[in-house]
């Protein structure tokens, strides 16, 4: 990615107001175009491993930079980052998709997994772990996966979930209310020539887990 994209986002973080944004709209349009071009590269690579993305247009994957400030005390009008969700039809597929965020200061990341599941899906999740824990564990505890995505993310219950005993052998997995993974990248990595290849590598590693979640929640 172009370093100027990160420079724009750095300046936006310091001047997050409409007047400054309008005065710098030309810089924004250039930065946004650079992010869209990069996201298009990623999407084309993903289409080689995920057939349900074949008809997805990159413009449908790009998130708006405007913040929804209706229900928050934080009235800054703009996000300090660019974001894209790569799912069937775009960022609003409702499935577990690949999410890319570009933000200066080493805050850029690729993430995905089980996020804010419905009570029905949470019940499916725990039932599957109870009946067949090895299917999940063989994915998230695989050496290459664990070496790249260093830790499991997501909130856990403080005690056992209803219907399961505290001495259940998979109690720690059963406690999760959501379970996702992400990998952060330095600004130097983001601006490197092979960054799209790095993101594709991350997506390929994460895909078995994404497939596990989507098959459990939406295809069963």
pLDDT per position as a tens digit, 135-172: 999 999 999 999 999 989 999 999 999 999 999 999 99
> Is pLDDT of 90 > 90?
yes
Cα(210)–Cα(216) distance, rounded to whole angstroms? 10
Asked whether the beta carbons of 173 and 133 are under 8 A apart, the reply is yes
Mean pLDDT of 52-79: 92
Dihedral sign (CA 11, 200, 212, 184) = negative
What torsion, rounded to 10 degrees, do the Cα atoms 71, 89, 41, 82 define? Answer: 0
Q: Calculate the average pLDDT of the chain.
A: 95
| Residues 8-48 pLDDT 10s | 999 999 999 999 999 999 999 999 999 999 999 999 999 99
Q: How confident is the model at residue 213 (pLDDT cuts 50, 70, 90)?
A: very high
Closest CA to 148 of 205, 197, 106, 94: 205
What's this model's pTM, rounded to 2 decimal places? 0.93
Give the CA distances from residue 116 to residues 119, 123, 189, 197, in Å, rounded to whole numbers and listed in that order.
Answer: 9, 13, 30, 29
Residue 220 predicted with pLDDT over 70? no
What pLDDT, on the 0 to 100 scale, is given for residue 70? Answer: 83
Structure tokens given for 163: 């219907």
pLDDT digits (tens, 9 = 90+) for 180-191: 999 999 999 999
β 108-114/82-86 pair status: unpaired
Domain residue ranges in the chain: 3-217
* 46-69 mean pLDDT: 95
Tell me how far CA of residue 27 lies from CA of 20, 61, 111, 187, 192, in angstroms: 11, 21, 27, 19, 21
Q: What is the DSSP string of 40-60?
A: HHHHHHHTTT-GGGTT--GGG
Has residue 64 got a pLDDT over 80? yes
C-alpha to C-alpha distance for 129 and 144, rounded to whole angstroms: 22
Average pLDDT of span 91-106: 94
Task: Tell me the C-alpha to C-alpha distance, in Å, between residue 104 and each of 10, 71, 77, 219.
Answer: 6, 26, 18, 37
Q: Are 105 and 53 in contact (CB under 8 A)?
A: no
Which residues have a Cβ under 8 Å from the Cβ of 219 and sit 6 or more positions away?
none
């Amino acid at each position: 990615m172009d370093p100027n994209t990160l420079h724009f986002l750095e300046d936006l973080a310091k001047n997050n107001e409409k007047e400054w944004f309008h005065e710098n709209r030309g810089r924004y349009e250039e930065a946004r175009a650079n992010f869209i071009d990069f996201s298009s590269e990623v999407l084309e690579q993903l289409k080689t491993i995920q057939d349900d993305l074949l008809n997805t247009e990159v413009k449908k994957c790009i998130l708006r930079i405007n913040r929804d400030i209706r229900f928050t005390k934080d009235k800054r009008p703009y996000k300090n980052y660019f974001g894209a969700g790569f799912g069937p039809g775009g960022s609003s597929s409702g499935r577990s998709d690949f999410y890319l965020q570009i933000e200066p200061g080493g805050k850029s990341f690729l993430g995905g997994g089980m996020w804010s599941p419905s009570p029905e899906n949470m019940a499916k999740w725990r039932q599957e772990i109870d009946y067949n824990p090895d299917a999940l564990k063989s994915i998230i505890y695989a050496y290459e996966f664990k070496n790249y995505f260093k830790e499991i993310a997501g909130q856990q219950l403080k005690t056992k979930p209803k219907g399961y005993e505290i001495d259940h052998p998979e109690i720690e997995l059963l406690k999760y209310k959501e379970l996702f993974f992400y990998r952060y990248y330095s600004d130097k990595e983001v601006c490197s020539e092979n960054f799209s290849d790095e993101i594709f590598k991350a997506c390929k590693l994460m895909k078995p887990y994404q497939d596990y979640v989507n098959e459990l929640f939406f295809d069963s």
